[in-house]
Amino acid sequence: MSRRFRNKVLACLGFLACALALPAFCGPMGFKESWMVMGDFSPHWQEAFVNYALTPRDALGASTLYMRSDDERKSRQLEDVTYTRLLKRWNLPQAQANIWFLGGLGYVTGNDFVGYKPMASPGVQVDYETTRVYASATARLYRADGINHDFTSARLGFSFYEVDYDETQPWLVFEARRMTGLTNRTEVTPMLRLIHNRYFLELGVSNSAQGRINFMYIF
Amino acid sequence: MKKSVIALALALATLPSLAVTSIKATVNGMVCSFCAQGIEKRISSMPAAKAVFVDLKKKTVAIEAKEGQTLDGNAITAEITDAGYDVVKLETVQKSVEEIKSEVRARK
């Protein structure tokens, strides 16, 4: 397979994954021996996440996630330990593509049942990125006894222009996501993404008129 | 006169060792400054590294050696690899990071 053909295949896979609505950010972990802090906050979905990269491919962490249904009658609180694994990376001359495993084990509480239940949240993310284009797709299960809040999302974005390494780069990113058992509609959020060195910020308003802020920081 | 010529010859002979040396790496997969932070952080912490320059468009990472010190190409490759990228070319150049930065930016 020629390099040009392989690059085209990878680009198509990235966009196809988005089209099929397989969510998330850039990469879900940083470089070896780094910490990554992430947050995703909107009225219905509030997640804080920190992990540490033990190797270039493996990170351990912890997260806390609050989920709420559209009608605000049902809410969940999940606390879990997480494991992130870079399953495959393609470092291409002008692009990078990745397949990630995302996993979590913890417990969930809710306002419609008493006590807590063990919850598992395995998932996969694929992404493709150049200096001007970004695409990703994520599918993640959130399962506990009698609970299914599976999550799928797709992102597609472009940067307005290329910048030097030490300058702020603005992007426009569109995300579509669905959350089983919490909402019956697909939430679409256009977001302004700003990347500057080790800072990553996204701001948007969804088609449900809900504000959203995402951030990441590596150290 | 003879002593002056010898002194001049010795001075010229020592010039290369005083010249600034940098390693210039061509790196595949380096498309996002947020994700490439690892390269800068890991290489900057190497004892022989004086300055680091990263350019995403030209896929270039340049590392300038501290005066009197030698950069280890294998160690640099290992650090870039640990940061998650692939080094496809590594060359030693007699230029400072500032000079390399000016050249790269002039070509844009």
Spell out the domain ranges in chain B: 18-106
In the CATH scheme, what is the code of domain A3-218?
Answer: 2.40.160.40
How many CA atoms are closer than 13 Å to the CA of B23, on its beta-carbon side? Answer: 22
Which residue numbers in chain B have pLDDT < 70?
1-18, 108
Tokens matching residue A125 = 């993310």
A91 vs B37, B53, B85: nearest CB: B85
What's the whole-number mean pLDDT along residues A129-143? Answer: 95
Query: Best of B35, B41, B88, B100 to disrupt the A interface by mutation (most A CBs within 10 Å)?
Result: B35
- Chain B positions in Cβ-Cβ contact with residue A131 (cut-off 8 Å): 31-32, 56-57
Residue pLDDT, tens place only, A169-187: 999 999 999 988 888 789 9
Amino acid at B45: S
Tokens matching residue B1 = 């006169």
| Confidence label for A4 from pLDDT (cuts 50, 70 and 90) | low
Residue pLDDT, tens place only, B63-86: 999 988 999 999 999 999 988 899
Q: Specify whether the CB–CB gap between B70 and A175 falls below 8 A.
A: no
A133 Cα to chain B: minimum distance (Å):
10
Chain A contact for B103 (CB, 8 A cutoff): no
Distance CA A213, CA A204 (A): 7
- Chain A positions in Cβ-Cβ contact with residue B55 (cut-off 8 Å): 164-165
B28 vs A91, A129, A162: nearest CB: A91
- The answer, yes or no, to whether ipTM is higher than 0.85 is no
pTM, whole model, 2 decimals? 0.82
- Chain A positions in Cβ-Cβ contact with residue B88 (cut-off 8 Å): 93
Q: Tell me the C-alpha to C-alpha distance, in Å, between residue A49 and each of A129, A147, A155, B92.
A: 23, 22, 20, 41
- Chain B positions in Cβ-Cβ contact with residue A86 (cut-off 8 Å): 84
CATH architecture of the domain covering B18-106: 2-Layer Sandwich (3.30)
B53 Cα to chain A: minimum distance (Å):
9
